[in-house]
Amino acid sequence: MKVRLLDIAHARSGDKGDTANVGVIANRPEWFPLIARELTQARVTQHFAGMIEGEVDRFELPNLNALNFLLHGALGGGGTLSLKTDAQGKVYSTALLRMMLDVPDAEARALGLPSA
Amino acid sequence: MTERVVRVASGQGFWGDSLDAPRQQVENGPVDYLMLDYLAEVTMSILQKQKERDPTMGYARDFVGAMDSVLEAVTERGVRVIANAGGVNPPACATAIQGVAKKRGKSLRIGVVTGDDLLPRLNELVEQGHALAHMETGEPLETVRDRVLSANAYIGSKPIVEALSRKAQVVITGRSTDTALTMAPIRFEYGWKDTDYDRLAAGIVAGHILECGAQSSGGNCQYDWRNIPDLANVGYPIADAYEDGSFVVTKHPNTGGRVSVQTVSEQLVYEMGDPHGYITPDVIADFSTIRIEDAGPDRVRVFGIKGYAPTDKLKVSIAYKSGYKAVGTLVYSWPDALEKAQLADRILRERLERLGLRFDEILTEFVGASATHGPLAGDAGRNAPEIQLRVGVRSDDRATVERFTREIAPLVLNGPPGVTGFAGGRPKVEEIVAYWPALIDKTVVQTHVEIV
CB burial of residue B333 (10 Å; 0-12, 13-18, 19+): middle
Query: Which chain A residue has the Cα nearest residue B269?
Result: A23
Contact B373 A83 (CB under 8 A): no
Query: Which chain B residue has the Cα nearest residue A73?
Result: B136
Which of B46, B212, B269 would you mutate first to test chain A, the one with the most A CBs within 10 A? B269
Strand, helix or coil for residue A116: coil
Which of A18, A19, A63 would you mutate first to test chain B, the one with the most B CBs within 10 A? A63
Contact A23 B223 (CB under 8 A): no
Q: pLDDT tens for residues B78-95?
A: 999 999 999 999 999 999
Q: Work out the angle at residue B222's Cα, subtended by the Cα atoms of residues B220 and B226, and round it to the nearest 5 degrees.
A: 90
Query: How many CB pairs (< 8 A) connect A and B?
Result: 131
Q: Is the ipTM of this complex over 0.85?
A: yes
Q: pLDDT tens for residues B378-396?
A: 998 889 999 999 999 999 9
pLDDT of residue B97: 98
Cα separation of B274 and A70, whole Å?
Answer: 9
Which of B144, B258, B271 would you mutate first to test chain A, the one with the most A CBs within 10 A? B271
Percentage of chain B beyond pLDDT 70 is 100
Percentage of chain B beyond pLDDT 90 is 94
B41 close to A (CB below 8 A): yes
Least trusted range by pLDDT, from A79-83, A91-95, B214-218? A79-83
Q: pLDDT tens for residues B147-204?
A: 999 999 999 999 999 999 999 999 999 999 999 999 999 999 999 999 999 999 999 9
pLDDT of residue B142: 92
Contact A83 B393 (CB under 8 A): yes
Question: Helices B180-190 and B158-165 sit at what angle, rounded to 10 degrees?
Answer: 50
Chain B residues near residue A12 by CB distance under 8 angstroms: 220, 222, 266-267, 269-270
Question: Helices B62-77 and B90-103 sit at what angle, rounded to 10 degrees?
Answer: 60
Q: pLDDT tens for residues B247-298?
A: 999 999 999 999 999 999 999 999 999 999 999 999 999 999 999 999 999 9
101-140 in chain B: CB under 8 A from chain A: 135-136
Contact B271 A79 (CB under 8 A): no
B276 close to A (CB below 8 A): yes
Whether residue B2 has pLDDT greater than 80: no
Cα separation of B185 and B273, whole Å?
Answer: 26
Q: pLDDT tens for residues B84-124?
A: 999 999 999 999 999 999 999 999 999 999 999 999 999 99
Query: Which chain A residue has the Cα nearest residue B265?
Result: A64
Cα separation of B448 and B452, whole Å?
Answer: 13
**Res. B20 pLDDT band, cuts 50 70 90:** very high
**Res. B46 pLDDT band, cuts 50 70 90:** confident
pTM, rounded to two decimals: 0.96
pLDDT of residue B49: 86
Nearest Cα to Cα of residue A70 among A44, A98, A49: A44
Q: pLDDT tens for residues B284-311?
A: 999 999 999 999 999 999 999 999 999 9
Give the CB-side neighbour count of residue B390, counting CA atoms within 13 A: 16
B208 close to A (CB below 8 A): no
Whether residue B1 has pLDDT greater than 70: no
Whether residue B19 has pLDDT greater than 90: yes
Q: Work out the angle at residue B285's Cα, subtended by the Cα atoms of residues B280 and B286, and round it to the nearest 5 degrees.
A: 145
CB burial of residue B63 (10 Å; 0-12, 13-18, 19+): buried
More confident residue, B372 or B40: B372
Chain B residues near residue A15 by CB distance under 8 angstroms: 271
Contact B376 A18 (CB under 8 A): no
Query: Which chain A residue has the Cα nearest residue B45?
Result: A80
CA-based nearest distance B227→chain A, Å: 15
Contact A50 B390 (CB under 8 A): no
Chain A residues near residue B42 by CB distance under 8 angstroms: 79-80
| A59, A65, A94 ranked by CB distance to B274: nearest | A59
CA-based nearest distance B351→chain A, Å: 20
**Res. B45 pLDDT band, cuts 50 70 90:** confident
Chain B residues near residue A91 by CB distance under 8 angstroms: 372-373
Chain B residues near residue A76 by CB distance under 8 angstroms: 361, 363
